[in-house]
Structure 1
Amino acid sequence: MPFAHDTESSLLAAVALVNSAVAPDTLTTVEALDEFYREHAYTGRHTGDRAELEEVRALRAPLRTLLTSGRDDAVPLVNRLLAAACAVPRLVRHDQQDWHLHATDPEAPLATRIAVETAMAMIDVVRADETSRLGVCADPDCDGLVLDLSRNRSRRFCSTACGNRNAVAAYRARRTGTPQP
């Protein structure tokens, strides 16, 4: 595992949030936000209302920009997110998780906590010079993000569906002898 558990969790959540905007949009209801909150084991305040949903949805574009930035371009974006939230990193332990970093108060708005946790994770990505682990799906018809946590850095598709679609297309192209795009 190239990153600490909390870094990996934050990156996975950020990629899932950004990819929720890829057609079809999967984050359109408060219930979908509740599921996202549970699935990514967020703690702290969660109002579960339409205003919170819209704040979280508004994060998708800036987080996409951050997660697809090169190493040096990511730094000012990270610094801006942390400064905007007046982030103060501290070690915490809760639930079944061992010591890890939080940089906002648990009562801060969910969108703020997501932004700061993503920024904190990107600090590790930048410091380890691992921005190549984040990219755009290799499927030419998909704009989803990929977080490659594999040892051999072989993950190319954002989902099994994209990978399968491309494997089937490659198989069919081989069978018919047509060149692949």
Structure 2
Amino acid sequence: MHYNHYGREPVQLGVGLLNEPCASAAELGQRCAAAGLVLSRAPTTADLASVTEFLARWRAVVECVERTGRAALLNDLLAEYASAPRLTDHAGDGWHLHFRDPGVATDRQIAALVTVGTALHLTGLGMDRLGVCAADGCTRVYADTSRNGRQRFCSPACANRSAVRRHRAGRAAR
């Protein structure tokens, strides 16, 4: 089985980049490599700025809870960053699909990976499998990969803090 370049990893990379923005282009490159993404070129400072702007637009997809609206926002990003699928064996490690043109700039490559990965994530698992943490005061995002599809928090820590708050509120109301 060949690694799917547009599977879970690009969506998790997008989540990670939103939740913990990169401080440098080198860090962006390291985080892409850690996610298993092979970039055509090392990111530059301009790429980092462009990816940061893209992520602000991608966050609107995450925040949109209405399915049709979410699809429309994601379709806009797909039209801008993705291209017709094509077979490639650019790394010599097996044929796979790319949804970007060859030689595309690094920032656009990252945006295409995250955008197509998000589309596959939502169509494969469900249109509600992306969101903003439900914990009071938390603005972090998550991609729900749980079995039951009921994730509402970005982390177990936020889920636990919310449970403690609910418990204490219930006891105080008695």
What is the TM-score with the length of structure 2 in the denominator? 0.76
- Tell me the residue number matched to 1:111: 107
Specify whether residues 98 and 67 from structure 1 end up closer, same or farther in structure 2 by C-alpha distance, changes over 3 A only: farther
2:52 to 52, 57, 75: 57
RMSD (CA atoms): 3.1
> Does residue 155 of the first structure (1) align with residue 151 of the second (2)?
yes
Specify whether residues 8 and 91 from structure 1 end up closer, same or farther in structure 2 by C-alpha distance, changes over 3 A only: farther
Specify whether residues 154 and 117 from structure 1 end up closer, same or farther in structure 2 by C-alpha distance, changes over 3 A only: same
> Does residue 42 of the first structure (1) align with residue 32 of the second (2)?
no
Deviations 1:68-118 (A, max 9, x none): 333322333333323324612123457697654321135322221222223
> Does residue 177 of the first structure (1) align with residue 154 of the second (2)?
no
- Tell me the residue number matched to 1:6: 6
What is the TM-score with the length of structure 1 in the denominator? 0.74
What pairs with 1:16-95 in structure 2 (closer than 5 Å)?
16-20=16-20, 26-69=21-64, 70-85=66-81, 87-92=83-88
Does structure 2 retain, via aligned residues, the 8 Å contact 1:144–1:158? Answer: yes
Deviations 1:109-163 (A, max 9, x none): 2221222223323433454571111111121111111211111224222124423
2:127 to 131, 156, 169: 131
Cα distance in 2 between the residues matched to 1:46 and 1:165? 42
CA displacement at 1:41 relative to structure 2: 1.6
- Please say which of residues 48-57 and 92-101 is displaced more in the overlay: 92-101
CA displacement at 1:170 relative to structure 2: 5.1
Indicate the percent of aligned positions where both proteins have the same amino acid. Answer: 29
Q: Which residue identity is paired with 1:143?
A: T
Cα distance in 2 between the residues matched to 1:157 and 1:99? 37
Listed as ranges, the gaps of 5+ residues in structure 2 are: none
Specify whether residues 142 and 97 from structure 1 end up closer, same or farther in structure 2 by C-alpha distance, changes over 3 A only: farther
- Please say which of residues 89-98 and 136-145 is displaced more in the overlay: 89-98
Cα distance in 2 between the residues matched to 1:5 and 1:31? 21
Listed as ranges, the gaps of 5+ residues in structure 1 are: 21-25
CA displacement at 1:55 relative to structure 2: 1.2
Question: How many pairs were matched up?
Answer: 169
